[in-house]
Structure 1
Amino acid sequence: MKSTRCLLRLLGRSAHPSLLQNLQHNQIQTARHIRDKKGGHVPVEFLSDRSSVVQRDTFATEHKTKASFVEALEVFIKGDVRRRGHVEFIYAALSKMPEFGVERDLVVYNRLLDVFPKEVFVPRNFIQRMFNHYPRQQECAVQLLEQMENYGVTPNVETKVLLVRIFGEKGHPVRKYQRIMYWFPKFKHANPFPVPHQLPQDPVELADFSLKRIAADLDARVTVFQMPGTDVTETGEQITLPHVVGIQSPAQMALLRKHNPSRPVFVEGPFPLWLRKTCVHYYILRAEPEPPDEKVEEPYDPERSFYYPLQLDLDLDRDFGDLETFDVEDLDEGPVFAMCMTNQGDQATLNRWISGLQESNPILGHIPTLFRLQAGPRELQAETPKEERPPEEEEEEAARGRN
Structure 2
Amino acid sequence: MRSLRLLITAQKLCARLRQMPAVEPHGARSQLLRAVHTSSSPGPPKSDPPKTVAPFEDAFAKDQRDKASFVQVLDMFCGRDVRRRGHVEMIEAALRWMPHFGVEKDIEVYNKLLDVFPKEVFIPRNFIQTMFLHYPRQQECAIRVLDQMEYYGVTPNRHTYFLLAQTFGKLSHPVKKYQRMMYWFPRFKHINPYPVPVDLEADPVALSKVCLARIAADRDAQVTVYQLPSSEVCEDGTVQEHQPLVGIQSPDQIALLAEHDPKYPVIVEGPFPLWLKKICVQYYVLRAEPAARKKEELDPERCFYYPLQLDLDLERDLGDDHSFNVDEVEEGPVYAMCMAGSGDERMLGKWIQCLQEANPVLGQLPVLFRLTSGPQEVSLPAQEEAKSAKEEARQSPTEEEEEMRQHRRMEQ
TM-score normalised by length of structure 1:
0.78
C-alpha distance in 2 between matches for 1:339 and 1:261: 20
User: 1:374: which partner in 2?
Assistant: 372
Matched, 1:69 2:70: yes
State how far apart, in whole Å, the 2-side matches of 1:241 and 1:315 are: 57
- Residue 170 of structure 1 aligns to a residue whose secondary structure is coil
**For the residues of structure 2 that align with 1:102 and 1:316, how far apart are their CA atoms?**
56
Q: What are the Cα deviations for residues 286-325 of structure 1, in whole angstroms up to 9, with x where unaligned?
A: 0011179x643999xxxxxxxx97314799553xxx6443
Q: Work out the number of aligned pairs and report it.
A: 334
2:324 is the alignment partner of 1:326: yes
Matched residue, 1:80: 81
Find the aligned partners of 2:79 and 2:326 in 1 and give their Cα distance: 68
AA matched with 1:190: I
Farther off after superposition, 187-196 or 382-391: 382-391
Equivalent position to 1:357, from 355, 358, 370: 355
**Distance in 1 of aligned mates of 2:139 and 2:153:** 21
Query: Where do 5+ consecutive residues of structure 1 fail to align?
Result: 1-29, 31-48, 300-307, 394-403
Q: Could you tell me whether the CA contact under 8 Å between 2:264 and 2:292 is conserved in 1?
A: no
Residue 315 to residue 96, structure 1, CA distance change in 2 (3 Å): closer
Per-residue CA distance 1:127-156 (angstroms, 9 max, x = gap): 001101000000000000111111111111
Percent identity among equivalent residues?
56
**Cα displacement (A) at 1:198:** 2.1
Q: Name the residue aligned to 1:388.
A: 395
Moved more, 197-206 or 250-259: 197-206
Higher CA-based Rg: 2
Secondary structure of 1:353's aligned partner = helix
1:2-401 aligned at under 5 Å gives the runs 50=53, 53-56=55-58, 58-290=59-291, 295-296=295-296, 310-312=311-313, 317-318=318-319, 323-381=321-379, 382-383=383-384, 384-385=387-388, 386=391, 387-390=394-397
Partners of 2:183 and 2:322 lie apart in 1 by 45
Instruction: Give the AA of the match of 2:75.
Output: E
Shift of 1:280: 0.2
Partner SS for 1:274: strand
Deviation at 1:65, TM superposition (A): 1.4
Secondary structure of 2:291's partner?
A: coil
Q: What displacement does 1:261 show?
A: 1.1
> CA-to-partner distance for each residue in 1:39-86, whole Å, 9 max, x for gaps?
xxxxxxxxxx957x1221x32322111111111111111111111111
1:178-220 CA distance string (max 9 Å, x none)? 0000001001111111112321111110101100000000000
For residue 353 of structure 1, what is the amino acid of its counterpart? W
Give the partner amino acid of 1:335: P
- Using the size of structure 2 for normalisation, the TM-score is 0.76
Distance in 2 (CA, whole Å) between partners of 1:291 and 1:355 is 21
Residues 252 and 297 (structure 1), Cα distance of their counterparts in 2 relative to 1, 3 Å cut: farther
How far did residue 111 of structure 1 move? 1.1
CA RMSD of aligned residues (A): 2.6
**Residues 376 and 129 of structure 1, relative CA distance in 2, 3 Å threshold:** same
Q: Secondary structure at the match of 2:225?
A: strand
In structure 2, list runs of 5 or more residues that go unmatched: 1-41, 43-51, 300-308, 402-412
Q: Give the partner amino acid of 2:153.
A: G
Deviation at 1:272, TM superposition (A): 0.2
| One-letter identity of the residue aligned with 1:389 | S
For residues 291 and 230 of structure 1, do their structure 2 counterparts lie closer, same or farther at Cα, with a shift above 3 Å needed?
A: closer
Q: Which runs of 4+ in 1 moved over 6 A?
A: none
- Partner Cα distance (1:79, 1:153) in 2: 29
Q: Distance in 2 between matches of 1:108 and 1:72?
A: 12
Q: Distance in 2 between matches of 1:339 and 1:139?
A: 48
